[in-house]
Structure 1
Amino acid sequence: MDLIFCIGVFLVSIKDIHCIDGRQAELSRFNFFDIDLLKYAAEDREGNVMVSPASIKSTLAMLLEGAGGITETELRSALRLSPFKDEFREQLNTYLSLLQVNTPGVKISNANGVFVSKKLKLHKHFVSTLSKLYFADIQEIDFSNPFNASDIINRWVGQNTKGLITDIIQPAQLSPKSEMIIANALYFKGLWARGFNPRYTRSGCFHRQGSCLNVAMMELHSELNYAYVDNLRAHALELQYQGGEYSMILLVPLDFEGCAQLVRDLPYMSLPQISILLEPTDIRLIMPKFTVEFNDNVAGPLRNMRVVSLFTKNANLSGMYEGGAPQVDSIIHRVHMTVDEQGTVAAAASSAMVIPLIGAEVQLRVDRPFVFFIRNNKLGQVLFEGKIDEPNIVEDVVPTQSKTKPSNERRYSNKFF
């Protein structure tokens, strides 16, 4: 049985934030995939979880071009694409073209790569479609030498993630029977419109499973778009990147142990619905800084999203090359994320406590597991998403203790009455 490996690489680096200008994202069925992916990747799973729907969509789109029968149907259904190839190709081509941004405040680059055995004869139409519509770089490699093959793939990934991810695949994961690797590398760097002042960063408790993790907490005082979402029992906050086209949305559960329930509830309330509720509010935001590496095979979540035949001997990928009966062995997804005073790779709030302060200011304290999204505000296109369970622990600093005991009680300043 021929094996095809798919690699999705996600990497982000951000620096400087602000609030939204009131534009509401278009609700698109194509974006329903994003919430499904987060739910099945993070549900009932401990620790940090980060995925890039944009990166995985890029990989699945290339597979879709070579798929037929039930495999094609399952991929189209999961991605919510039109049954007509001309229509979904136009949709995917437009989507991928938006993943090339080079402005002073935001830089995004998306690269697709196909690494194919020299023994295979790819269909000309498949090669042409991947090159023209998906901007894919197609290279022939010798899988009989797994060390050399993995080195070629890792160097390609490293170049397209600015050196932040350099070892997505190991020689042991390849074999002479491997026929093709389909890869995607997505890089994002965004500057906060309003950065956190490092002078205000201090150690504090991040509450997880009844324990206190000593982490570095950043602080920002600004007018930000905020709402308490009753249906999710969570606080929502939007932090904007320079230029206003991209934002980070933080969802912080009211309850200390409420993140798992929040993830389960997200499919019933879309990000555009949450955005409508947000209103400009004077906020004192306290949130952790962190750096996280996440590496996973997302075949499991995709199976739960009813993409099943792709990973079996019944996979129909006949449109890729002549002869053989290929199936996908795994979809390897790796994420690098950094969040600090200057910016972030993707991350924000999740442990929210709202307490009354002097005046109309609201304090949002992110001191428990939380969910984040980084998205294009106009189209609702989600680049990165995940939940943060374990920010970086600060070993050599004693956490500052609050004068008031943390509470799950929902409190508002007078502004909300």
Structure 2
Amino acid sequence: MLGADPERCLAELDPAVADEPGLDLATANDIHVSADTPLRPEFRARFHARANAAVHPADFAGDAAGVRARINDGVARTTRGLVTDLLQPADVTPETAMLLVNVLWMKAVWTQPFDVELTRDRPFHAPGGTHPAPTMHRTGPMHYAQANGWRMVTLAGRHGVSLDVLLPEDGQEAPGTADLAALYQRRRTEQVRLALPRFRAESRRELGEPLRGLGATGLFDGDYGGISGSPCTWARSSTRPCSGSTNGARRAPPPPRSRCRGARRARPRSP
């Protein structure tokens, strides 16, 4: 997929979500599958080799609402109660054959805390208008770059976690891969005077078209023979990626919290 070796990519991701002393992180990679859609043994073994992976039997035909409730309860536990409604009633039906649910919850801590006494309201220019927002301030050496109408500063956190903050010039659309590549190539340590609003962001979207645009077209061709011998068709993929917030304090900052959640489901293909 995407021209990469998926096994190698997954092997590189596993250590990133491994337990580490002092790091508050939780993940879940679960497959919920009906009895009439048996997983191939070789696929089951490869899946179980991934971090925090588990396969659960699911009676979609007889108790779709119960399956949905159990999945939502598990996601709520993993995210410490932050995500309680991942799946909606329309996401799980008697026709569902399989659900893949990935959850990531993390609480990160700045390596250099913001001073809460420097936080004060400043105008924040949002798409819906300008609003006052509590804004944190810090001055000092930071990774900084400017390219293609964008400015970027990288804020370091403990355990190798970092946050890239991008600021566009007026009229800029969302940055593309070329813009991001240019920013990372030009990133240098400079003295920066930073004003960062405290914010919370959450989104939910269907992933079908973005995945096709990235070249992952094999997901939609209906050939899942490597997963199960039962014929299935792709139904839908949705995510609420990176619902998160920023905050600051004088000593140990109330950390940015992020929660990433996603689900994919497949329906049996008509004979």
- The TM tier, using the shorter chain, reads 0.7 to 0.9
Q: Distance in 1 between matches of 2:222 and 2:13?
A: 26
1:296 and 2:205 matched: yes
Q: Distance in 2 between matches of 1:199 and 1:133?
A: 44
List gaps (5 residues or longer) in structure 1. Answer: 1-75, 83-87, 347-382, 385-417
Distance 1:328 1:103, change over 3 A: same
Q: Return the letter of the residue paired with 1:333.
A: T
1:257 and 2:171 matched: yes
Q: Which residue in the other structure is 2:131 paired with?
A: 213
Distance 1:211 1:123, change over 3 A: closer
CA contact (8 A) 1:208 1:257 kept: no
Distance 1:257 1:208, change over 3 A: farther
Q: CA deviation at 1:270?
A: 4.6
Q: Identify which of 337, 344, 359 aligns with 2:256.
A: 344
Q: CA deviation at 1:210?
A: 8.5
* Residues 167-196 of structure 1, C-alpha deviations (whole Å, 9 max, x = no match): 110223221111110111112221001122
CA contact (8 A) 1:209 1:257 kept: no
DSSP 3-state at the match of 2:36: coil
CA contact (8 A) 2:205 2:239 kept: yes
Q: Distance in 2 between matches of 1:217 and 1:160?
A: 30
Aligned residues: 253
Distance 1:129 1:333, change over 3 A: same
CA contact (8 A) 1:196 1:220 kept: yes
Q: Which residue in the other structure is 2:77 paired with?
A: 159
Q: Distance in 1 between matches of 2:47 and 2:150?
A: 42
Q: Which residue in the other structure is 2:146 paired with?
A: 228
Q: Distance in 2 between matches of 1:182 and 1:210?
A: 35
Distance 1:275 1:333, change over 3 A: same
Q: Return the letter of the residue paired with 1:122.
A: L
1:327 and 2:243 matched: no
1:119 and 2:50 matched: no
Q: Which residue in the other structure is 1:391 paired with?
A: none
Q: Distance in 2 between matches of 1:108 and 1:148?
A: 27
Q: Distance in 1 between matches of 2:145 and 2:37?
A: 55
Q: Distance in 2 between matches of 1:209 and 1:291?
A: 15
Q: CA deviation at 1:134?
A: 5.3
Q: Give matches, 1:5-404, under 5 Å.
A: 76=1, 78=2, 80-82=3-5, 88-104=6-22, 106-133=23-50, 135-143=52-60, 144-208=62-126, 211-229=129-147, 232-243=148-159, 245-253=160-168, 255-258=169-172, 260=173, 262-263=174-175, 266-271=176-181, 273-311=182-220, 314-323=221-230, 325-335=231-241, 336-341=243-248, 342=253, 343-345=255-257
Q: Which residue in the other structure is 2:269 paired with?
A: none
Q: CA RMSD in A?
A: 2.4
DSSP 3-state at the match of 1:178: coil
CA contact (8 A) 1:93 1:134 kept: no
Q: Distance in 2 between matches of 1:281 and 1:226?
A: 6
Q: Report the TM-score when normalising by structure 1.
A: 0.56
Q: CA deviation at 1:225?
A: 2.0
Distance 1:181 1:167, change over 3 A: same
Distance 1:156 1:91, change over 3 A: same
Q: CA deviation at 1:95?
A: 2.0
Q: Distance in 1 between matches of 2:92 and 2:163?
A: 37
CA contact (8 A) 1:225 1:281 kept: yes
DSSP 3-state at the match of 1:294: coil
Q: CA deviation at 1:316?
A: 0.5
Q: Report the TM-score when normalising by structure 2.
A: 0.83
Q: Distance in 2 between matches of 1:155 and 1:209?
A: 34
DSSP 3-state at the match of 2:203: strand
